[in-house]
Structure 1
Amino acid sequence: MPSSESTTIAHGTETAPAGSIRLDRVTHEYGRGGETFTAVGPVDLTVPAGEFLVLVGASGCGKSTLLRLIAGFERPTHGSVRVSGTEPRPGDAAGVVFQTPRLFPWRTVRGNIDLALRYAGVERTQWPARRAELLARVGLEGTENRRTWEISGGQQQRVAIARALAAENPLLLLDEPFAALDALTRERLQEDVRRVTERTGRTAVFVTHSAEEAVFLGSRIVVLTKSPGTVALDLPVPLPRGDVDAEGLRDSPEFAALRAQVSHAVKTAAAA
């Protein structure tokens, strides 16, 4: 797959790196007539290709709404959203992982991955090799013939991540994918996602309530105010990435300081 840094996509007279995101004065409302509710906005945000952006904030601040706008599931009421220089369309712009795996229980792990490969337009002769590659990326070698209800919740979420990576789009969107998991499984999957995005070079946008999760995963963190969500803090994360000692990173004073800063920002934004 071409790296997100070397690929550009033309849009009119402009070119934009594949996987880059741009939100210009985005506002989104729900309802009709006099019964409208503003969920987010206005929001201006530029995400370079290859960045791991984490959106964090209290419940109801519009994090998931922003993710749906970037995925193309909804269109903004005002302003514009561009992914790779174009207006996003569902299925084209990004692979998406939700809070629950949303797998097909009557299919095996293999069947769920193969279905994603089919929708991604991968030639059938390439499925075995691509399936093996995807399962290896998420640490699920040897599980392809098992039914989804025969594997753990953490393994099911790994299948969902592998399925989202099946298409060659340069953007991965994750909406609180580890919220329902136990602490140990959550930490292991955080490490998996961090590693996968580093190795593939994909841009990632991750939604969470957790300051600790935000600091561990993100190369950049955006804290949103309470509804309507606007940017309260835009913070680069100057921690080492790539192959790192995850436990050592979590225990470092730099990590603790950033976690405290983000936690304070979230509480302040929620109370404002």
Structure 2
Amino acid sequence: MASSELSEKAGNDVRTEVAEAVRLERVSHRYGQGRDAFTAVGPVDLTVPAGEFLVLVGASGCGKSTLLRLIAGFERPTDGAVRVAGAAPRPGHAAGVVFQTPRLFPWRTVGGNVDLALRYAGVERERRAERRAELLERVGLGGTERRRVWEISGGQRQRVAIARALAAEHPLFLLDEPFAALDALTRERLQEDVREVTARTGRTTVFVTHSADEAVFLGSRIVVLSKSPGTVALDLPVPLPREGVDADALRESREFAELRARVSHAVKSAAA
């Protein structure tokens, strides 16, 4: 696809939604006590509008996952405030979360893992089978309900984890390096799936990665964090089309290459 076509599609894909989904106000977080205490992240000020796909990228140990846990409500900030939809986040209620490993229950089938998430989400028993089928179809696993976890590949297990995280229909979707352990081809396929699912559902998404390539492909906005304690080193909008464009053409475009180089340089400079 020509560069002019990409630019035109990007221009037609501007979101008008400006409602605030996440706000971090002077957030810092420390671990340990006394002389062993260290600041992992902050201070960070960040606002995420509803419907945005924000990617947090930076070197290992810069505080990306810490920020994600704070947004999910798994931890409370040492200083500052985190607000999700205007309130302090509560674990299990603030967002659907996907971790680096699938964390599935091996004694349950693929469908059973999704059913459990639907039950905790309060979906009525008579609606669960239909909803489970919809979720598995959405992540490309239609017809696998009866298969055991050990009978599917690593990439398919991560798809189940994504389906499970989507079960509660939280407006916020958090992913912590979910494709880090996968091979390159599976990783690209799942990147495309997540990009499509989030565009279709309009969910606000915060995604953690080390990869500049992954950040540019997925994000509508990229925040690069400095080395620990992580602060915002670069806040970059991504003016690439979100829908209606071939993934391979996007990855091979000049705009994509330029953004990837800029993010890669920023990550290296921030880690220096």
TM range (shorter): over 0.9
What TM-score, normalized to structure 1? 0.93
Q: Which residue of 2 aligns with 1:230?
A: 231
Q: Which residue of 2 aligns with 1:106?
A: 107
Q: Which residue of 2 aligns with 1:118?
A: 119
**Matched-pair contact (CA < 8 Å) for 1:56–1:211:** yes
**Deviation beyond 3 Å, 4+ runs, structure 1:** none
Alignment identity in percent?
81
Q: Which amino acid aligns with 2:227?
A: K
User: Distance in 1 between the 2:271 and 2:167 partners?
Assistant: 37
Q: Which residue of 1 aligns with 2:186?
A: 185
Q: Which amino acid aligns with 1:153?
A: G
Correspondence 1:173 to 2:174:
yes
Q: Which amino acid aligns with 1:76?
A: P
Q: Which amino acid aligns with 1:210?
A: S
| Secondary structure at the counterpart of residue 161 of structure 1 | helix
Q: Which amino acid aligns with 1:100?
A: T
Correspondence 1:221 to 2:222:
yes
Q: Which amino acid aligns with 1:159?
A: V
Listed as ranges, the matches of 1:76-87 within 5 Å are: 76-87=77-88
Q: Which amino acid aligns with 2:57?
A: V
**Matched-pair contact (CA < 8 Å) for 1:39–1:228:** yes
Q: Which residue of 2 aligns with 1:149?
A: 150
Shift in Å, 1:168: 1.8
Q: Which residue of 2 aligns with 1:11?
A: none
Unaligned regions of 5+ residues in structure 1, if any? 7-15
User: Distance in 1 between the 2:148 and 2:268 partners?
Assistant: 42
Normalized per residue, which structure has more helix?
A: 2
Q: Which residue of 2 aligns with 1:257?
A: 258
Correspondence 1:140 to 2:134:
no
Q: Which residue of 2 aligns with 1:10?
A: none
User: Distance in 2 between the 1:201 and 1:146 partners?
Assistant: 30
What TM-score, normalized to structure 2? 0.93
Q: Which residue of 1 aligns with 2:6?
A: none
Show CA shifts across 1:113-150 (max 9, x none).
00000010110010011001101110100111000110
Correspondence 1:44 to 2:45:
yes
Q: Which residue of 2 aligns with 1:75?
A: 76
Q: Which residue of 1 aligns with 2:249?
A: 248
Q: Which amino acid aligns with 1:227?
A: S
Question: Cα RMSD over matched residues?
Answer: 1.4
Q: Which amino acid aligns with 2:117?
A: A
**Matched-pair contact (CA < 8 Å) for 1:109–1:145:** yes
Q: Which amino acid aligns with 2:206?
A: V
Shift in Å, 1:33: 2.5
Show CA shifts across 1:141-176 (max 9, x none).
011100011000000000000000000210000000
Q: Which amino acid aligns with 2:148?
A: R
User: Distance in 2 between the 1:270 and 1:33 partners?
Assistant: 26
User: Distance in 1 between the 2:255 and 2:244 partners?
Assistant: 18
**Matched-pair contact (CA < 8 Å) for 1:56–1:208:** yes
**Matched-pair contact (CA < 8 Å) for 1:195–1:243:** no
Show CA shifts across 1:42-96 (max 9, x none).
0000000000000000000000000000000000000000000000000001000
| Secondary structure at the counterpart of residue 164 of structure 1 | helix
